[in-house]
Structure formats: structure tokens, C-alpha cells
Amino acid sequence: MQKFSQKIKFLLKIWQFGIETGVKMEIEIRAMNFDEINFAVDLASKEGWNPGLNDAFAFYNTDPEGFLIGFAEGKPVACISAVSYENKFGFIGFYIVVPEYRGKGLGIKIWNAAMEKLKGQNIGLDGVIAQQENYKKSGFKLAYSNIRFESVSTDAKFEDRNIVDTNSLPFEMIADYDKKFSPADRTTFIKNWLKMPQSFSFAFIENDQIKGYGVIRKCGTGYKVGPLFAEITGIAEKLFLKLSSSVEKNTPVYLDVPEVNSEGMKLAEKYGMKKVFGTARMYTGEFPNLPINKIFGVTTFELG
């Protein structure tokens, strides 16, 4: 009963946001069910964001209330994700309005609903750089930029005695290592992320300790590496080579590198990766104190 009451209050607040905008077109906003996640993924694909083919399960189970969908004229026209980690850190993604419904004030309504859901938390996002000024109006501040790089896989298989499949390790080892790279515990997300079909994940083990790990997953076009975390550049390089050599030959491989990680940028350039586009990593609160020099590949622009 309490959860239902909270939903009613949430919908009333959304309705109030609609009144304040003064826009005539109405929009109904609610949390997505699992089957509707594909609506957001499909829109992201059409925008050229190239999401993973099997992202939905990992995304949804991280925060089932964290994906919002907007309906107008009886059909879905907008989406946004507002995923919360431990109710203290939120991340916004999938902010998309169907093209023919843009310019009608619907985007700001679903944006406000997402911001209301994460109210009181430090919120992050990876937005297109051209929208920085708009995000600043909602209290976001630029931390740094992420750059997407593209290369092509080869058939030269890379092997290293220190690299093992993550499935051969206790999950707790990976979860504990991953905690260093996120502002809040995301154990549930990583557990599902490592289980995705059409993906590979490896860790670098030295003296019985994880010194880095990475995942590569199938996307609409090619594969994306993410995350790619490592203690030193040499380990990141070996993991990148192992990951990119695990997929089909001559397949596009993408890596999203924080621009402030100079070694990560050099790694991408070393292997002839070309820049595709960039995003602005922004936060509403203090910038998380993360080891950026060890983040060679962002996990995902959608959930951080």
C-alpha cells in the first residue's frame, strides 16, 4: 500500500510539472515494464548511440523503477532512465523523444519526472556535448569529456597467462574490485552485466589479486568494450587486446575513454582507433573521487 501511495504522489508531481510548462499536449508518464525497455533501446539505436543487444536485462534489474516512458495520443513517444544506486547516486540516460513529437514540450516533462525521482541524490549523466548548456540549467556541472573510439577486430588471438575468464573467479572478487570505480555500490548491475549473452569478460590476476578487468558485448553495430579498468596502462592494453581478439574478425570495436585519462587516450591512438564522437560527463553534486587514471573504458553511457 505504501509503495502504491508513493506512485500516486509521483504521478501527481508529474501532472503538476505539466501544468507549470503551459504546454497543451498531454503526456502520461510511468515506470516502464521490462518489455518496454526495448522501446528505449530501439530509440537509442535510431539516434546512432549503438546500445548493446542484450543491455535490457542488466539495465532493468539494476533499478526496475528507474526507466520512465511517456505516452501521448495513445502511443509511446518519450523515454528516459533515472537509475538509482543505493538511493544516494543516480544516473540519467536514454533521454529521447520520438522525432515527430519534439518541440512540443514533452521532453521537459519527462526530464522533470526523472529529476524528481532522483531528488536529493548526486546525479550524473553522459550527454551530447552540444546540450551542455541545457543540462547546466538543471544544475549539472561539467566534470570531463568522454571520447568514443572505433577500430576493427583482427583474427590474431591474444593470450596472456595472467588473463582469465571472469566466470572462473568468485563473483565477489570482481564486485569488490569494481567498487573502486563507482560512486555507489552497483553489485546487482555488474552481476547481470557479466552474464549477458553475446559478451566476453576477462580479468587480469597477479598474486591472486585482480589488477584489472573488462567486458566486451555485442551491439547493433560491432562490439563495445566497457568497462575497462586496470591498475596500469600495460594491463589495460593486454585486456583490450584479449577482448577485441575474442570477437569475429573485421568487426567494429568501440571504446569510450575519459579524455582526462591521457594514458587511455594514448592507448586508443596506439591501435589506430578513430574518434567517433564525445559526451560530457556531468554531475549535479560534487564530482566523485574516482581513479580516472585507471578507467580506460567507461562501462556504459546509459548507466555510468
Confidence at 20, pLDDT banded by 50, 70, 90: very low
Burial letters 141-165, b for 16+ CB under 10 A, else e: eebebbbbbbbebeeeebeeeebbe
What Cα–Cα distance (Å) separates residue 140 from each residue in 13, 127, 189? 22, 11, 24
Domain residues for the domain of 244 are 147-297
Which tens digits make up the pLDDT trace of 217-234? 999 999 999 999 999 999
Residue 1, C-beta contacts closer than 8 angstroms, at least 6 positions apart: none
For residue 258, being part of any structural domain is answered with yes
Burial letters 176-211, b for 16+ CB under 10 A, else e: ebbeebbbbebbebbebbbebeebbbbbbbeeeebb
Q: Is the pTM of this model over 0.75?
A: yes
Q: Which CATH number fits the domain that encloses residue 244?
A: 3.40.630.90
73 and 187 both lie in a single domain: no
Which tens digits make up the pLDDT trace of 29-40? 999 999 999 999
Which tens digits make up the pLDDT trace of 82-119? 999 999 999 999 999 999 999 999 999 999 999 999 99
170 and 91 both lie in a single domain: no
For residue 132, being part of any structural domain is answered with no
- The domain total for the chain is 2
Q: What is the C-alpha to C-alpha distance for residues 197 and 284, in angstroms, rounded to an integer?
A: 34
For residue 129, being part of any structural domain is answered with no
111 CB neighbour count, 10 Å cutoff:
21
pLDDT value of position 154 = 80
